[in-house]
Amino acid sequence: MVVLYRIHGDNIIECEVAIEIITEAIAESKGLEYSINLENSSLSTPKYKVIFSEGSSLLFELFPGHNRWDNSLSEYLTKMGAPLRESVDAFVTRVDNAKEIPVAAFEFCNALPAGNNAWQRAGRAISMVEAGIPYFYFAEIGGQELDANRKIKAPRFPNPIVPYSYLTLSSAATKKCTTVYLPSRSISEETYKEFEDAFANREYTHAIASIFTESETENQDLEESKNKSAQFVLDLAERRRRSDTHSIDTWNILVENAQKGRPISEVIIKDNLNWSKKIAIKANKTLSRLIADLQKLDVAAIGSRDMPFCIVDAKKRSKLSQLIDNNYGESVSEDFKSWIKNGEKSLVIVFIAGFKPRGDDSRPDRGLVPLASMIFANDDIDILSVVYGPAKERTWSELFDSPMSLASNNGLWEAIIGLGDGLLIDSVTFDATKQNRDLLTPLSAHTTEKVDLAKFSNIPRYGEHDVDSALHLLFSNTTNEEVFESLCNPPGGDWSGVSFLDQEGATNRWTSLPRVTGVDGKRPDHIIQFLGDVKFFLSIESKDLLRNLEEKIGPRLNYYTKELLISGKAQSRKLKDSLLWTQNIDEDFLNKALNEYSFYSGAAIMGRADEAILASKKSFADVVFSIDFSSKENIIYVIVNNEKIRRPLIDFLDSQQTKTKILNSKLIVLN
């Protein structure tokens, strides 16, 4: 009997990436070949059957888009021990009658891992580990930062303490927790050579394959994977200015302790790297004094001098309590001062801006407290969060009136309250005359309940995910060699790049995409390249409903794509049948190839035929897709407004009728 797996993903792309990783892992570990075939299913939950050369097979059903089904993964994971309601890029389950059994979680990061983006995903890692789910984190390294003119400035890297945190977490985990570092598609040859020893060489495949074939993982493969992660940390540490971070000797000790599951707090305190956090936003004088007092107290930096956290030796907590009393007086409760003074553990203090200038959440900062927890996964420490960003006044009211309710609806506060031990507010929008500025957490004991995950219905709350999935399924993996999907960015995507196939079969790639190009450009959700006699790019904006479609969006999509491809510089190129990307690009050759192309626009929504007509009038797009999910058989309505592309587009759509039938849908051209 064929085993059915389900992949609950951020979007259709990440679901498919998970299939590829799982399939390649099994094939490589067993020396097999394979094929992946679309099975009878639907546009919203497509199924793929993987057939291996020795006769075995697996069936995967995709559930793109979290929190739109009749069941909740986050609620299940919380009951299983996850401290945060975080959703990973791909969560894989095995269907067993009326329930689903979790088997693995995958995270994919190909955005530039610099600044606060580097720790945005920390909460996901710690949640999967605490819930006992095997977790695999794939991160691309060596991506290039571009200037305003899209010229390469330099590769960007995370602070070494960030990948180090995954190393400590993996040693503390009871299930597999594996980090896989891969070269970015825009990496330079120089950077590749610098980090070559840290890049994965398929060691992780046995760990993944063992989950899906019920075989034993080779311990040497897991150890090799951890060794490469350790090497990456040390390589990053070598790159930093010596005055900015720990000595290499200290990093070696930290890495060794992490690999062996030993505590590290005493190592960091003893190293005594001076901490010098700078505050870049408007701040109270009390916050500036607190930071100055901490520096006088000789607290130790963690990872580098400017990271937004430091560690206070347990022996200095009494002095810290006195400094806090002098600085904040009666606006801090006696219970809080007593906790600071009498605590017997070393104290990690995390400084969290948390909010943008207008008071909206700064999403990446929700990863700071989880990051601190991961770094000290093998230590027994306390965590104090100092929140200084300009939250809206109602946020402070909600925090003290109903903190658990706020945490249940806000990921930042969930992390602060759920993983921290204490909270201190020092924000320009907080009125300390009305309310003490402190809170001791956690507010309730976290309980673990072993429960079953009920089988999900495969009918979603229809929305933009389904529109994007339909377009992706229509234009990708086709047998028609004259059509190529250059970009697909559904909700939750990362805008990692646009690709172009030239006449030599090489793939050219533009990365780090700007959101707009001037006032006239708008980044599309999909770009399709037509390589036949009529050469053109079709740039498509997708929305759930007609009312959310921008007026006259069509010309703006064309402008964006043309400006990016014609005026911008490609960052990398990969020859046909090659796995390696290079930055050696013949710009004259590429420009000549691109000059053969015209640019056209598309709009896609959910709706019937009449809404397709209205979308056509509203969008000024050359092509409109309106997808009706309300009937048993989904219908994709198409309007072609530009005669220059009518024939190649309709010919292509006709060639996809077999695929759409498999997906229980049909195409209807309205004009």
Per-residue model confidence as pLDDT tens digits over 293-334? 999 999 999 999 999 999 999 999 999 999 999 999 999 999
- Compute the distance between CA of residue 571 and CA of residue 505 in angstroms, rounded to an integer: 17
Is 454 a domain residue? Answer: no
- Compute the distance between CA of residue 398 and CA of residue 379 in angstroms, rounded to an integer: 32
What is the signed CA dihedral for 232, 238, 243, 248, rounded to 10 degrees? Answer: 80
- Provide the sign of the torsion angle of the four alpha carbons 557, 563, 569, 574, taken in this order: positive
* Residue 468 vs residues 11, 356, 384, 471, 483: alpha-carbon distances, Å: 9, 30, 42, 5, 17
Quick one: pLDDT at residue 184? 87
pLDDT tens-digit series, residues 79-128: 999 999 999 999 999 999 999 999 999 999 877 666 566 688 899 999 99
| Mean pLDDT for the stretch of residues 372-389 | 97
390 and 376 in one domain? yes
399 and 536 in one domain? no
Cis peptide before 442 (omega within 30 of 0): yes
Place of tokens 């007593």: 338
Confidence of residue 156 (pLDDT cuts 50, 70, 90): confident
| Mean pLDDT for the stretch of residues 418-423 | 94
Q: Which domain holds residue 74?
A: 3-262
211 and 84 in one domain? yes
> At residue 37, what are phi and psi to the nearest 5 degrees?
-125, 135
43 and 178 in one domain? yes
Quick one: pLDDT at residue 516? 64
640 and 588 in one domain? yes
Quick one: pLDDT at residue 222? 79
Total number of domains in the chain: 3
587 and 649 in one domain? yes
625 and 513 in one domain? yes
Is 566 a domain residue? Answer: yes
Is pLDDT above 70 for 285?
Answer: yes
Q: What is the DSSP string of 247-311?
A: -HHHHHHHHHHHHTT---HHHHHHHTPBP-----S---HHHHHHHHHHHHTTPEEBSBTTSSEEE
177 and 146 in one domain? yes
Is pLDDT above 90 for 175?
Answer: no
Is 629 a domain residue? Answer: yes
Is 327 a domain residue? Answer: yes
Quick one: pLDDT at residue 112? 67
Quick one: pLDDT at residue 217? 62
Let me know: does 509 contact 499? Beta carbons within 8 Å. yes
> End of a domain among 232, 262, 292?
262
- Compute the distance between CA of residue 413 and CA of residue 429 in angstroms, rounded to an integer: 17
Is pLDDT above 90 for 340?
Answer: yes
Cα 604 off chain centre by: 25
